[in-house]
Structure 1
Amino acid sequence: MKFNYKLQRLCGAYYGNPSITTEMGSTNPKKDGSNILYTSNGNTLISATSNRIQLIDLLTHSVRTLPVESRSNIRSMCLNPTDTLLLVVDVQNYAMIINIIRGVILTRFKFKRSVYDCQFSPCGQYISVTHGRHLQIWFSPSATHKEFMPLILHRTYTGQSQDISSITWSADSSVIMATSKDCTVRIWSVNTIYQFNPITLSGHKTPIVNAYFVYRDLEETGTGTSTRSVIDSCYTISQDGALVTWKCSTSSSTDEDNDDTTTPKEDIDLPPSQDNDNDDGVQKIWKFQSRHYFNQTGSSLITSSYNESSKLLALGFSSGIFGIYEMPSVSNIHTLSVGSNQIISTCVLNTTGEWLALGCPKTQQLLVWEWRSETYILKQRGHSYGMKCFNYSPDGIIIASGGEDGKIKLWNTSSGFCYATLGGTAVGGSGAESSHTAPITAIEFSKSSVVLSASLDGTIKAHDLHRYRTFKTYTTPTPVQFLCLAIDPSGEIVVGGTMDPFHIYTWNIQTSRLLDVYTGHTGPISALKFQCNNGGILASSSWDGTVKLWDLYKNNVQTESLQHNSDIVCLTCSPNGKEICSGTIRGLLSFWDIESGKLKFELDGRRDIIGGRKHNDRMTASNNSSSHYFTSIAYSADGTCLLAGGNSKYVCIYEISQQILLKKFQVTFNRNLDGVLDELSSKNMTDFGPIDDHANDSEDETTYNAIRLPGAKRGDDGSRSTKVEVLTRQVAFSSTGREWSAISGEGLHVYSLDEDMLFDPISLTEAITPAAVEIKLLNKDYSMALRMSIHLNEYKLMKQVLEEIPYGSVPSVVKTISSEQLERLMNTIAKIMDTSPHVQYYLRWCLEILKTHGVHMDKHRSSFMRAFRSMHKIVQTKNDELKTICNQNKYTLDFIESHAQLAAATSAASLVSASTPPGSSTKAAEVN
């Protein structure tokens, strides 16, 4: 079994910081989410979730999580013009520059003051960041080679009385504009200009949200006629919805502009510059031109985005309303709402101005709206208040998750997106709500199209995945709270365990009739599992420290109890049905033989799961093992390994036969969570406890760090900020064994095997060399030669082997190619076929691959789609080229064909005449 699992994606939250709870009174709504970005082509969206970065492809509708993490929650991001470098700054002002193509961190840096916005210059040479009340410009590092000092400070700009909130570059990267919370806008030149004073624009009553340059084309005549864009004006937008237009003009056109402008507010005349190339926007006169208000009662403007090419302005308000306006007429195109009381913290238009992306941190919602067709390109929303439980479908394609909000979401494991949320009205028009009214505690798949959920509201509901409706509801005679759920292998019986009165209820799934109630436990039921090879045997664990085995088909059989020394919190059954594993609050994993009822062995996992010191712990993490134990365990598909997670930042994988720990995974490194660090810094310790570094992130004067009593799990109810503890609520293996998932406070972490490995260490040995490949070719062992060359992954060697294989041996060689080598072979054939003249030969390869491995490729589309598209593209290209050549030489080909037919007839006649004996000319003529 391979263990090179890596985080593939983070589902459940595609925007915002689900690990932090924002309370009332925060003056900074962007605390819980950073800005979102489009790539230069406008097809990929970059979003930040906690301290991770999500890449969402809007064309293929798939998501990928970069394998990098920041120290804490991300506050701001910016992307360079070539889409190669990504600058990320977190709430602690730690920055990292990432090569977004390879997904690696190039350098890390710490800013001394708060950074609220960062921008790459359009030329890609500079990086500008807000540094408290200052503005800093740094030289951009190189993405191709390493540097001793990747970041070099170019210049620092001052003059603002309060913190700078946003930055805007000019198109030629010569002028930069910054907005501040002191209600002013300042314009600086990037390079030094003689006797130049920065321009200050003041005309707002509330802090300015953003400012944008507006350009006009200027014709130039010389050796040729060309146009260049110069700054014509700028827009400044404040929180009260005021839009002010400032006109930029030369001194010669001042009088003309005064005739068209009413009540000028400010005239700034600057001396001529010694550098004529960098005087755009600074050696001009800036004048007040007009003012417009976007009136939204009871809400303030939070974010805006302006697209210069389409002249569109998008605005987002604190009430969840967003609008699109056409500039400069400020005519309203659309005004819609994403929901009541949902703060839109960020919005951005793509390069063409067709798609508007919106982020709502309160509901962790990410939307992409196409305003022309008035449809959503993307609409993803996580569980309110976090996930509670999940489960894989039998085929491993679907993940069903249950949340604290009582809803069920269905996730596609290939794309990582939620495609359905179960809710609405029940089937039959009864009007009953199909969603639960309390948190969901367990989810199980009965079949591939039916999922059942148990909740604290005292009901178990069955949902149809074809119609996305609830068709059955199972209730008890008295009100209870369900903690666990299980379905027998035949899919006929469903059982549920309760918190109080410690009973186990069984129903018939088809008739919804309560069959029996099993009693005997003296504590809440923590887990229920059916024996896989014998559906009648049910194992139940409880907080009373016992595991009981029940035979549902033989009521007169005495119940067997397996005693433990402490409370049992998790239970699972092996795939072969001969073994069960239980976990206690002492961190012990006990393995029992079902037939004999005897304890086989125990694994002490306390030292394995210990890690992370809580913020108010009075002892180190290594000495505090009382609160660290496994709360969820799961067998692998082959039953050889056990996956375990619990009240810790670690998820462990154990090998059962050897009783050893194989690997530990840390689900997050986010320092905004409690329990991530193993040691606390002594400089933050006071007589009353440690100082919270994140207590002032909300910039709320009323926020304070409440002192918690020793041993108290609950903080002060008057505190306006909370710090979520890092833990794993549930873990599960996929049925394929190539993927496993875990639920934490940040969402659903999906770990899968690395599909991009260049070498297979099991098949690649020292005997596989280029010389050995040539020997196999000489011996005409073409199948082995091709497989060896694929393992070596050398392009020239693979091309040599492919071209030496005879045309007639292609079908037999293709049949020997395994599924692990198929994708690499398809990519190589597509690459060779692009420049090779042997078109028919490689078309035979393509045809045989589709005939032999077509079914397997269709079943695993996500794995082979990239290679198949490459191969299809080159085949289509060759087809177009040959079609063009044939059309151009149509008459030549007809002439050659007719000439060949005439030549064939002439030769046939000559052969007949030569073979005809003398005196039979009449028969020869008849033949002719």
Structure 2
Amino acid sequence: MNFRFQNLLGAPYRGGNVVISNNSLLISPIGNRISITDLIKNETITLPCESSSNIARIAVSPDGNFLLCVDDNSRCLFIDLRRRVILHRMSFKKPVSAIKFSHDGGLIAIGVGKLLQIWRSPGFRKEFFPFELVRTFADCDGAVSALDWSPDSKYVLAGSKDLTVRLFCLKKISKVDNKPFLFLGHRDFIVGVFFSVDKKSGRVSEVYTVSRDNAIFTWDYTPEEVLNPPSPGTPEQISSSEVIENGDGKKRKNFDGEDGNVGDSALHRGKWKLAKKDFFMQPSTKLSSCDYHQSLGLVAVGFSNGVFGLYQMPDFVCKHSVSISREKITTVVFNERGNWLSFGCAKLGQLLVWEWMSENYIMKQQGHYYDVNCLAYSPDSQLLATGADDNKIKVWTAASGFCFVTFSEHTHTVTALHFISGNNCLLSASLDGTVRAWDMLRYRNFRIFTTPAPRQFVSLAADPSGDIICAGTLDYFEICVWSMKTGRLLEMLSGHEGPVHGLMFSPTNAILASSSWDKTVRLWDVFEGKGVVETFPHKSDVLTVVYRPDGKQIASSTLDGQINFWDPIDGLLMYTIEGRRDISGGRLMTDRRSAANSSSGKCFTSLCYSADGSYILAGGRSKYICMYDVADQILLRRFQVTHNLSLDGVLDFLNSKRMTEAGPMDLIDDDDSDVEEGIDKQTRVNLGHDIPGSKPNNGRPIIRTQCLRISPTGRSWAAATTEGVLVYSIDESFVFDPTDLDMDVTPEAVNVALSENQHQRALLLSLRLNKDSLIKGCIVSVKPVDIQAVASSIPLRYLQRLFEAFADLLESSPHLEFILRWCQEICKAHGHSIQQNSRNLLPALRSLQKTITRLHQDLADTCSSNEYLLRYLCSTGIKN
């Protein structure tokens, strides 16, 4: 029950800017969430914070602790990146097109429509109004499109769509100097503005302005004291040379009468001159994004044809010009050192990090171009495979969230995936008429299963041994059976009168269960060739069927929103769950009825049992995923997939103000809009493999759950949704669930028992408290000689908690042999009890097996990499 959101996989980058914090953390918006990628550790996490719609702009503080993000609805979130929580919320009245922190982190410049607003960064103290508006500049005639701060955080450069760049001073100055300085001459709206600092003096020396028509202008600055030096002996000369001594160093009076560092200059009083105009030679293209690195003097630009260039300023020397795609580059950003460049392409959903010195890719990640249809966990829960409408299969590392291999041999939608335990093989079925087998060690397609006549496969199953492969068809209503060893088609099982959308082998025997739209679930004896063994009739179309892990129960979902549980041995209906009300919710823009009165789509299209079979997860064309208790047939919990209002079906009640004579405002295409085109604004094609009666929604994405899978360890589960693959896991560090407590069971009693060398009593007390740190401390404190005696005295009800502690210790503790000795003694002392209660202990045992397997693989890789060194050392030892 304590599942919490952990990560989001497979979701594409849909637009907006990206930033690189602390030189190696790539922060990017993914829909209405924020993804953080560690480029050194190759790990990706998604913050649990959600915005109300797709995030448009983000900015990170200079110290990397805080993040400011603004979505398409102009709603702002101020997030603590270390704690991963939302500190403050705020809404702007107009769309936000640019946002940037000052160099000291104290101020935030935000372009709100035609206004430039300066806000003070929220502090740690509790305030009724955490955001304080410092100043508002209303001089721009067009929307603000680019911002940059001066090094002293006293000036702001603002470029706008009125083809001008303005220099604003934050301090209130005289009426003569109150108007901002204008940089004129561009013929298209401004994409980037940047201050350039002289390395010797530390002062602003130049300004670069970049426009969409491939032009970059260089503006030279001459300070006021150089233009009009004060006469010797005059009051101006005396006041300008007056210094103040203090413990921090020398200071002097600056232009507005306040103390400032030596080197500060009044940028609004000096002289700005257009030094030169340079043009990027990219005909018939537009400049879409740019960034500037002050220390290296490099300008990186991206164009609408997928080409990016790297130029040395101010000489405008081209260092690199490379084409990375055929679509528009929507964002370009340097890291702090300037050796890495990050590019984003919204139309392809792709993020790249490129090291320009060595010309190598540091990271190349791309989400699924369209909706994810299916997913599968590997037997050890370490890998997660996903298949989507873009004809691709991606395999992710569940722990790090990184995709390490992509298979693109399928020519049509991938509809089903299945891992075969024991032989590192992944199976995939597709609408292109093939079932393919993939080698997960060599990453190649080593076998293709086909039929004499082309068929569209929508379901897939393999027997526990991996020798027999079965696939259900969409068009011929048959089940095809192949031999894994020979690849030959063995049999075509006929009998269904509708598409076979559900297939699964029994975990305990060779019985195959199939579900079809012909309102039946059928059991087949594949090995004996007896054909249909049992038929379970339903009142409505059956959408999917699953076996319980012990093979003693079958669950099937129907189009009328029911979940039926059958006894496969006796062929009887055990009980039924009416889930229509539980999954209902969310009104589409094209619906004529409210969500409460509409009956379309209120059904479960995917089911999945837990590892111990005590509860079942169910999801479908809804924003909810339901968790039911199987024994009591009650709803335990509902998980809402997303709160993103950019998707259809999230709101239960629509806003009547957004309804026009031509229909809902969100469904009206604005061809004159210059908003970036992302994945969510492309036309979605209905490929015909949805539930009966489904209709395309004029290209607007509809929230739904396509597939649900629980990991074999039972510690996490994944859902393939419109937003991507949502991964939920159990975080036990926040859960305190004691058992068998009384007044004497306290942490102090555990510490006293340890001090008196009563390790057995201390371990039992910690298990009753069920506090993770105490249990691990007591396990480690036991001497190796006493492990056998302590292990034999552990009651059966504590074994599951003990195995979970062993799995965690193996991941973090250096005492590998010590923990394995504990596992061995526990199995020796309680082997018979473990076998009898395997159903309850199965999640913990699989988690332990997963950890041991990964450690074994790490040691094997280390030994194989040092094989020649070990041989050399051994031969040297023999000679000596």
Cα shift readout 1:98-117 (whole Å, capped 9, x = no counterpart) = 11111111111110011011
SS of the equivalent of 2:654 reads coil
Quote the offset at 1:409 in angstroms: 1.1
SS of the equivalent of 2:515 reads strand
Give the corresponding residue for 1:359. Answer: 344
Q: Does 1:78 align with 2:55?
A: no
Give the corresponding residue for 1:296. Answer: 282
Structure 2 counterpart of 1:384, from 366, 369, 380: 369
Conservation of the 8 A alpha-carbon contact between 1:117 and 1:167: yes
Give the corresponding residue for 1:160. Answer: 140
Note closer, same or farther for the CA distance 1:828–1:355 as it changes in structure 2 (3 Å cut).
closer
Structure 1 counterpart of 2:332, from 318, 342, 347: 347
Structure 1 counterpart of 2:322, from 326, 329, 336: 336
CA distance in 1, matches of 2:676, 2:78: 34
Give the corresponding residue for 1:371. Answer: 356
Conservation of the 8 A alpha-carbon contact between 1:691 and 1:705: no
CA distance in 2, matches of 1:634, 1:796: 33
Note closer, same or farther for the CA distance 1:252–1:373 as it changes in structure 2 (3 Å cut).
same
Give the corresponding residue for 1:205. Answer: 187
Q: Does 1:564 align with 2:555?
A: no
Alignment of structure 1 residues 618-697 onto 2, 5 Å: 618-686=592-660, 689-692=663-666
Choose 1 or 2 for highest CA Rg.
Answer: 1
Conservation of the 8 A alpha-carbon contact between 2:772 and 2:805: no
Note closer, same or farther for the CA distance 1:775–1:69 as it changes in structure 2 (3 Å cut).
same
Q: Does 1:446 align with 2:432?
A: no
Give the corresponding residue for 1:742. Answer: 719
Q: Does 1:477 align with 2:448?
A: no
Instruction: Name the amino acid aligned to 1:303.
Output: S
Structure 2 counterpart of 1:183, from 163, 180, 192: 163
Instruction: Name the amino acid aligned to 1:752.
Output: S
SS of the equivalent of 2:194 reads strand
Cα shift readout 1:723-744 (whole Å, capped 9, x = no counterpart) = 2000000001111100100011
Q: Which runs of 5+ in 2 are unaligned?
A: 230-253, 684-692, 795-800, 825-844, 857-880
Q: Does 1:420 align with 2:405?
A: yes
Give the corresponding residue for 1:467. Answer: 442
Structure 2 counterpart of 1:727, from 704, 726, 736: 704
Cα shift readout 1:520-563 (whole Å, capped 9, x = no counterpart) = 1111111111112112x111111110111111133346542211
Higher deviation after alignment, 666-675 or 376-385: 376-385
Quote the offset at 1:135 in angstroms: 0.2
SS of the equivalent of 2:96 reads coil
Conservation of the 8 A alpha-carbon contact between 1:230 and 1:280: no
Note closer, same or farther for the CA distance 1:65–1:863 as it changes in structure 2 (3 Å cut).
farther
Q: What is the root-mean-square deviation in Å for CA atoms of aligned residues?
A: 3.6
Give the corresponding residue for 1:148. Answer: 128
Higher deviation after alignment, 678-687 or 513-522: 678-687
Conservation of the 8 A alpha-carbon contact between 2:482 and 2:489: yes
Instruction: Name the amino acid aligned to 1:554.
Output: E
Give the corresponding residue for 1:169. Answer: 149
Conservation of the 8 A alpha-carbon contact between 1:586 and 1:626: no
Give the corresponding residue for 1:921. Answer: none
CA distance in 2, matches of 1:210, 1:772: 65
Give the corresponding residue for 1:613. Answer: 587
CA distance in 2, matches of 1:826, 1:509: 36
Give the corresponding residue for 1:103. Answer: 84
Instruction: Name the amino acid aligned to 2:449.
Output: Y
Q: Does 1:578 align with 2:552?
A: yes
Higher deviation after alignment, 276-285 or 306-315: 276-285
Alignment of structure 1 residues 869-880 onto 2, 5 Å: none
Note closer, same or farther for the CA distance 1:811–1:512 as it changes in structure 2 (3 Å cut).
closer
CA distance in 2, matches of 1:274, 1:862: 69
Conservation of the 8 A alpha-carbon contact between 1:139 and 1:151: yes
Conservation of the 8 A alpha-carbon contact between 1:790 and 1:825: no
Cα shift readout 1:583-614 (whole Å, capped 9, x = no counterpart) = 11100011111112111111111011011111
Note closer, same or farther for the CA distance 1:808–1:862 as it changes in structure 2 (3 Å cut).
closer
Quote the offset at 1:799 in angstroms: 14
SS of the equivalent of 2:97 reads coil
Cα shift readout 1:877-918 (whole Å, capped 9, x = no counterpart) = xxxxxxxxxxxxxxxxxxxxxxxxxxxxxxxxxxxxxxxxxx
Q: Does 1:525 align with 2:523?
A: no
Give the corresponding residue for 2:207. Answer: 234
Higher deviation after alignment, 441-450 or 90-99: 441-450
Instruction: Name the amino acid aligned to 1:534.
Output: N
Quote the offset at 1:683 in angstroms: 3.1
Give the corresponding residue for 1:286. Answer: 272
SS of the equivalent of 2:90 reads strand
SS of the equivalent of 2:666 reads coil
Q: Does 1:216 align with 2:198?
A: yes
Structure 2 counterpart of 1:550, from 512, 516, 524: 524
Cα shift readout 1:226-279 (whole Å, capped 9, x = no counterpart) = xxx2111111111121111000102464599xxxxxxxxxxxxxx975557464
CA distance in 1, matches of 2:170, 2:75: 25
CA distance in 2, matches of 1:862, 1:167: 51
Quote the offset at 1:517 in angstroms: 1.2
Quote the offset at 1:800 in angstroms: 12
CA distance in 2, matches of 1:254, 1:820: 75
CA distance in 1, matches of 2:355, 2:203: 30
SS of the equivalent of 1:116 reads strand
CA distance in 2, matches of 1:420, 1:446: 18
Quote the offset at 1:384 in angstroms: 2.1
Quote the offset at 1:774 in angstroms: 5.3
Note closer, same or farther for the CA distance 1:594–1:108 as it changes in structure 2 (3 Å cut).
same
Quote the offset at 1:667 in angstroms: 1.0
Q: Which runs of 5+ in 1 are unaligned?
A: 17-32, 220-228, 257-270, 424-434, 717-721, 830-842, 866-928
Conservation of the 8 A alpha-carbon contact between 1:356 and 1:371: yes
Instruction: Name the amino acid aligned to 1:161.
Output: D
Cα shift readout 1:150-195 (whole Å, capped 9, x = no counterpart) = 0111110021111001110111111111000111100011111223
Structure 2 counterpart of 1:8, from 6, 12, 29: 6
SS of the equivalent of 1:740 reads strand
SS of the equivalent of 1:662 reads strand
SS of the equivalent of 1:117 reads strand
SS of the equivalent of 1:135 reads strand
SS of the equivalent of 2:198 reads strand
**TM score, norm. by length of structure 1:** 0.78
Note closer, same or farther for the CA distance 1:822–1:283 as it changes in structure 2 (3 Å cut).
farther
CA distance in 2, matches of 1:529, 1:442: 12
SS of the equivalent of 1:486 reads strand
Conservation of the 8 A alpha-carbon contact between 1:343 and 1:362: yes
Cα shift readout 1:466-496 (whole Å, capped 9, x = no counterpart) = 2222122121121221111111112111111
Structure 2 counterpart of 1:503, from 454, 461, 478: 478
CA distance in 2, matches of 1:814, 1:84: 46
Give the corresponding residue for 2:70. Answer: 89
Instruction: Name the amino acid aligned to 1:573.
Output: Y
CA distance in 1, matches of 2:771, 2:151: 44
Percent of aligned positions that are identical: 41
**TM score, norm. by length of structure 2:** 0.82
Give the corresponding residue for 2:307. Answer: 321
The aligned length equals: 785
Conservation of the 8 A alpha-carbon contact between 1:857 and 1:864: no
Higher deviation after alignment, 608-617 or 690-699: 690-699
CA distance in 2, matches of 1:787, 1:305: 60
Quote the offset at 1:699 in angstroms: 2.6
SS of the equivalent of 1:692 reads helix
Conservation of the 8 A alpha-carbon contact between 2:373 and 2:414: yes
CA distance in 2, matches of 1:422, 1:367: 19
Conservation of the 8 A alpha-carbon contact between 1:782 and 1:813: no
Quote the offset at 1:130 in angstroms: 0.5
